[in-house]
């Protein structure tokens, strides 16, 4: 038996969001809002397609133990970023994601903001409000947290206590 292909009419008739509906999982249910128009065909025709899905995409290194736990609180930074982006009303324009290892171990927690390719190092949860206000809203990177290095892997060696050797001092 062939599966029935849903049409715009079917989704409207069944009350299912025109954009998407994910089924309920053990963890959560996500339902995207319907367009603010009665005519779904009209909404599909007037919505411009683009490859610029997010105005900014923010990645926070939470992979491995260094950025997430040893060199700082990468998970706390990620959580604070999600919260501040929501509070600033940027959820539809700025995406915040966990990232695996960015191969800059010893400089973290690290954040990368695209499309500008601005890197931040040694970020703490208390820095997040400034990053959101100055960079994500104001368009001005926070210079005291900027990270610059040679292209490629830049992992610092570690001492007997697992602290990075050669980590630059943090600018306050």
What gap in Å lies between CA 112 and CA 96, rounded to an integer?
Answer: 10
| For residue 7, pLDDT beyond 90 | no
CA distance linking residue 85 with residue 89, whole number of Å: 6
Question: Under a CB-based contact definition with an 8 Å cutoff, are residues 125 and 77 in contact?
Answer: yes
92 belongs to a structural domain: yes
CA-CA-CA-CA dihedral for 117, 146, 60, 22, to nearest 10? -50
Domain that holds residue 98: 56-145
Work out whether strand 111-114 and strand 56-61 pair parallel, antiparallel, or are unpaired. Answer: antiparallel
Q: Output the average pLDDT for the chain.
A: 78
Task: Tell me the per-residue pLDDT of 48-63, one tens digit each, with 9 for 90 and over.
Answer: 888 778 999 999 999 8
Span 12-40, average pLDDT: 38
Q: How many domains is the chain built from?
A: 2
Inside any domain, residue 150: no
Give the model confidence (pLDDT) of 109-149 as tens digits. 999 999 999 999 999 999 999 999 999 999 999 999 999 99
Check whether residue 104 and residue 122 sit in a common domain.
yes
- Coil, strand or helix at 56: strand
Q: Are residues 89 and 140 in the same domain?
A: yes
What's the rounded Cα separation, in Å, for the pair 142 and 132? Answer: 10
Task: Confirm whether 42 is domain-assigned.
Answer: yes
Look at residue 32 in the predicted model and tell me its pLDDT.
Answer: 38
Whole-number pLDDT of residue 51? 79
Compute how many other C-beta atoms are within 10 angstroms of the C-beta atom of residue 22.
11
Would residue 140 count as lying in a domain? yes
Task: Tell the burial category of 129 from Cβ atoms under 10 Å away from its Cβ (0-12, 13-18, 19+).
Answer: middle
Are 18 and 89 within one domain?
no
Q: What integer pLDDT is reported at residue 145 of this predicted model? A: 96
Residues near 59 by Cβ (< 8 Å), separated by ≥ 6?
Answer: 97, 98, 99, 102, 111, 112, 114
Do both 67 and 136 map to the same domain? yes
């Amino acid at each position: 038996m062939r599966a029935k292909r849903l049409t715009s009419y079917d989704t409207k008739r069944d009350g299912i969001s025109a954009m998407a509906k994910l089924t309920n999982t053990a963890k959560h249910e996500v339902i995207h809002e319907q367009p603010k128009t009665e005519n779904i065909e009209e909404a599909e025709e007037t919505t411009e397609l683009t490859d610029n899905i997010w105005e900014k995409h923010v990645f926070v290194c939470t992979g491995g133990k260094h950025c997430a736990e040893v060199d700082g609180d990468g998970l706390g930074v990620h959580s604070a970023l999600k919260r501040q982006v929501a509070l600033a009303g940027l959820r539809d324009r700025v995406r915040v994601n966990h990232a695996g290892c960015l191969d800059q171990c010893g400089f973290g927690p690290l954040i990368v903001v695209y499309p500008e390719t601005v890197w931040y190092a040694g970020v703490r949860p208390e820095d997040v409000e400034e990053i959101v206000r100055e960079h994500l809203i104001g368009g001005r990177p926070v210079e005291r947290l900027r990270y610059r290095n040679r292209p490629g892997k830049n992992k610092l060696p570690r001492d007997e206590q697992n602290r990075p050797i050669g980590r630059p001092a943090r600018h306050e």
